[in-house]
Amino acid sequence: MTRNKENLETVVKQEWIESEKGWGIRPDGYSLHKNVKDRDLYVKKYWDSMPDEVPDEYSRPIGLPVPIDVNKKTYDRICKSEYGIRLYKEEFEEVER
């Protein structure tokens, strides 16, 4: 499939994993952000919303954020959000088309 680069925007992708008591860890989608600063604010807001004690189930970022190209529809969703959006595997497969 050939993509028209002119219709894509570059954003920052952060991978997440989920930890669940008794089950271990598993992939938990991605967050997409206009830039690294927004990524950092998104992660901070997430951690600030967590309780003081470790919950039985929670997500956390893994690895470094990386630039990716997304379609205009996804870019517009990111721009309308406070610091970025969260996508899971099925949704993420649509963003680069």
Q: What percent of the chain has pLDDT over 90?
A: 76
Residue 46 lies in a domain: yes
Integer angstrom CA distances of residue 48 from 4, 20, 21, 86, 88: 39, 19, 21, 17, 22
Domain interval for residue 27: 8-92
What's the structural domain count of the chain? Answer: 1
* Better-predicted residue by pLDDT, 1 or 31: 31
Q: Give the residues across from 57 on adjacent strands.
A: 20
Domain contains 3? no
Question: Does residue 80 lie in a domain region?
Answer: yes
What is the pTM (predicted TM-score) of this model? 0.86
Mean pLDDT over residues 6-33, rounded? Answer: 93
Beta-carbon-side half-sphere exposure of residue 9 (alpha carbons within 13 Å): 16
